[in-house]
Amino acid sequence: MVLHPDVYQKAQAEVDRVIGRDRLPTLADKDALSYIDCVVKEVYRWNPPVPLGIPHHLTEDDEYQGFDLPRGTGVIANLWSMSRSEDVYGDPDIFRPERFLDPGLPDPEISDPRNIVFGHGRRICPGRLFAEASVFLAMSNIIATLDINKARDDMGMDVTPEACFLSGFISYPRDFACSITPRSPEAASLVANMVASSS
């Protein structure tokens, strides 16, 4: 969101319109927060957390694009490449959550990144629904309560971080500077009250 403040502002506007500023979002609000759902999808698509997925092996002979693949062959699904398909997403290098509001996007079975990043078939991640709920709650509550902006250098100029991710089994961003502040005293109180009630 540091790199895409316009997206963050649209998400905050949706939370303010749907939830208001006197409570925090809950799972019951998920269907009403369609733009935030698009942001979640775009985050998954733009940089899948496990870019090559979990290795699988074939339990029977198969064929893929003219290649014979015998039973027992190891298969690694390049989830990063799938989520960057120009045929499906058009402009895959651009972070644009609105793409998921486009009625011209292919069937969600193909275009919804949640059908990619959690794996496939019988070995799909069994914790995906818990993960999706956790990501939605974290993201919507951050959006509702915090402002995220670029950090400033000693001269007061914005510091724009590079979109750089560490390679490995799990992909995560390199450390970067940013500014995270409460949106308002009321937002800080909502968080403080939530923390106090959960203790």
The per-residue pLDDT for 157 is 94
Backbone dihedral angles phi then psi of residue 175, each to the nearest 5 degrees: -55, 140
The CATH number of the domain where 157 resides is what?
1.10.630.10
Share of the chain above pLDDT 90, in %: 64
Which are the contacts of 62, defined by CB distance < 8 A and separation ≥ 6?
69, 73
Which of 35-39, 98-102, 169-173 shows the lowest per-residue confidence on average (mean pLDDT)? 169-173
Taking only the tens place, the pLDDT of each residue in 144-172 is 999 999 999 999 999 999 988 888 888 88
Q: Is 147 helix (H, G, I), strand (E, B) or coil?
A: strand
The per-residue pLDDT for 147 is 96
Number of domains present in the structure of the chain? 1
pLDDT bin (cut points 50, 70, 90) of residue 106 is confident
Domain containing residue 105: 5-198
For residue 94, which of 47, 149, 135, 136 has the smallest C-alpha distance?
47
